């Protein structure tokens, strides 16, 4: 009788043998960081997946721009083509993986695959943000499916959580730290007292930030992901133009320090929550926003540092749940893609391509709340001349706007003529705060434009 180890190996062998009888042929379009990582991951753990699923995934063709280009990932020349259309048209390919990025050629790849009844796995959040509604409709019309777990938060299975794990819950709140570059920069600024420009330069040198970093630091990448999550959570497709977006470019070391003294960390948050008055048909609008916010250091999201991501989801039945992990990188993305490949393989094996539909619009009256109507608490930093009557003038403007102050902090140590004045503000609409701060900025003793950050206490 063999050892337990041999028995396990024999069982694994039988599982793989069975899987080979049920095999999915994958065509990969794009073999850069993501596509190459997926190819390597299949080589590494494809047998493990096959033994667990009873169906195998085999790469039969890889489309690249230049077949002779040297690559970190060694791919047999017989698998390579420089014509993605031939890959999509190949009858031997019954599942397509799109990993080229962008929103032009990638869109053409998906639509061509759907037209042939072939399902697609993608990690392309920009494409889904811009054309998701069209692509989901095309997949449904052609009896295909679209799998996109890797498009949001890397290795965190947040898409599966919203589509399957919490399907019996109404999602009342969702907060996400979904951009690792911004979280790395803000974490370094807090932990080391470094300035934004210095940390950004180091992040670029380490490969955490692109040479042209605006997609990350201006909040657009986080907005792509937040819009996808909002659409899934609330059952209507969120137009990216309706998402309010602020980045972290204006965050200073001074704000990091003052926030810390009051027990807060500053994080770039993607926020999705029902907000404002109920609409004509009884459906409250949904806030969908991305901006830097003060988060209590004692809250779990306040302790998420470095390049890690985290998403907090509150359901009306389950309460708060938290998902944490690496949000980017070759391996984290490949892990998410493998999850989608497993779902696609099982769907193809069972002959039901849309066992779990990619997106089902079920809220016809859904709408995104304009940022002006959103109610929040606020951190306000002013640079003022320290003379009698200045604080009284500021509080008078806020009082006339019916905006309450919860606390005032004026640090003793300062340089130059002006001094910082920090106000913590009670709940108010963004529109009221903007009007009040515009008036405060006109006071002669206020030397710079007011700095305003929102405060999230996760009530």
Contact 157, 339 (CB under 8 A): yes
Give the torsion through C-alpha atoms of 187, 188, 189, 195, to 10 deg. Answer: -150
In the set 118, 190, 225, 273, the catalytic residue is 225
Residue found by looking up tokens 């609008």 in the block:
285
Rounded Cα gap, residues 310 and 174, in angstroms: 11
What does the DSSP 8-state code read for residue 186? Answer: H
**8 A C-beta contact, residue 407 and residue 421:** no
In three-state secondary structure terms, 335 is: helix
Beta carbons of 407 and 423 less than 8 angstroms apart: yes
Closest to 357 in 3D by CA, of 135, 173, 26: 135
Instruction: Using alpha carbons, select from 221, 234, 219, 180 the residue that is nearest to residue 203.
Output: 180
Q: Residue 112 and residue 116: Cα distance in Å, rounded?
A: 7
Find out whether 108 and 133 touch, Cβ atoms under 8 Å.
no
Measured torsion, CA atoms of residues 412, 418, 422, 427, in degrees rounded to the nearest 10: 160
User: Rounded to an integer, what distance in angstroms lies between the CA atom of residue 132 and that of residue 428?
Assistant: 34
Return all residues near 344 (Cβ < 8 A) that are at least 6 apart.
Answer: 24, 95, 119, 121, 145, 147
Q: Is 273 a catalytic residue?
A: no
Determine what percent of the chain falls in helix, strand and coil, rounding each to the nearest 5.
40, 25, 35
- Edge-to-edge strands of the sheet including 146-147? 80-81, 56-63, 23-29, 95-98, 119-122, 146-147
- Token digits for 346? 């099982």
Query: Is residue 106 classed as helix, strand or coil in its secondary structure?
Result: helix
Q: CA-CA distances (angstroms) from residue 48 to 95, 100, 113, 310, 338?
A: 20, 27, 28, 28, 11
Classified as helix, coil or strand, 341 is: helix
* Residues tagged active-site: 225
């Amino acid at each position: 009788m063999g050892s337990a180890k041999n028995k396990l190996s024999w069982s694994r062998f039988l599982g793989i043998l069975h899987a080979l009888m049920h095999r999915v042929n994958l065509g990969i379009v794009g073999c850069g960081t993501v596509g190459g990582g997926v190819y390597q991951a299949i080589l590494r753990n494809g047998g493990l997946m096959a033994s667990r699923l009873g169906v195998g995934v085999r790469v039969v063709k890889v489309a690249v721009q230049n077949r002779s280009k040297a690559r970190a990932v060694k791919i047999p020349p017989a698998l390579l083509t420089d014509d993605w259309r031939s890959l999509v048209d190949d009858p031997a390919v019954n599942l397509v993986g799109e990993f080229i990025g962008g929103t032009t050629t990638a869109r053409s790849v998906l639509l061509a695959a759907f037209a042939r009844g072939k399902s697609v796995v993608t990690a392309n959040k920009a494409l889904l943000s811009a054309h998701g509604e069209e692509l989901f409709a095309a997949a449904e019309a052609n009896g295909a499916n679209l799998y996109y777990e890797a498009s949001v938060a890397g290795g965190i299975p947040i898409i599966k959580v919203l589509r399957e794990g919490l399907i019996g819950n109404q999602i009342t709140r969702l907060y996400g730290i979904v951009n690792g570059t911004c979280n790395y920069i803000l974490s370094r600024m807090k932990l080391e007292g470094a300035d934004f420009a210095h940390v950004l330069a180091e992040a670029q040198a380490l490969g955490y930030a692109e040479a042209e970093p605006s997609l990350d630091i201006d909040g657009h990448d986080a907005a792509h992901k937040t819009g996808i999550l909002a659409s899934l959570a609330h059952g209507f497709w969120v137009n990216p133009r309706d998402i309010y977006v602020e980045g972290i470019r204006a965050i200073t070391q001074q704000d990091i320090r003052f926030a810390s003294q009051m027990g807060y960390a500053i994080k770039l948050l993607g926020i999705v929550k029902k907000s404002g008055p109920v609409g004509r048909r009884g459906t409250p609008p949904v806030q969908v926003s991305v901006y830097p916010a003060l988060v209590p250091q004692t809250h779990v999201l306040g302790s998420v540092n470095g390049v890690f991501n985290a998403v907090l989801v509150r359901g009306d039945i389950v309460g708060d749940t938290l998902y944490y992990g690496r949000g980017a990188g070759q391996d984290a993305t490949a892990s998410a893609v493998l999850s989608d490949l497993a779902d696609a393989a099982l769907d193809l094996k069972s002959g039901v391509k849309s066992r779990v539909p990619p997106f089902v619009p079920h809220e016809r009256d859904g709408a995104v709340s304009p940022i002006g109507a959103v109610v929040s608490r606020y951190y306000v930093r002013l640079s003022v001349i320290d003379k009698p009557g200045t604080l009284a003038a500021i509080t008078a403007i806020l009082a006339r706007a019916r905006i309450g102050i919860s606390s005032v902090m004026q640090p003793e140590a300062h340089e130059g003529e002006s001094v910082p004045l920090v106000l913590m503000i009670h709940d108010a609409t963004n529109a009221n705060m903007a009007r009040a701060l515009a008036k405060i900025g006109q006071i002669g003793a206020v030397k710079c434009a007011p700095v305003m950050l929102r405060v999230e206490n996760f009530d």
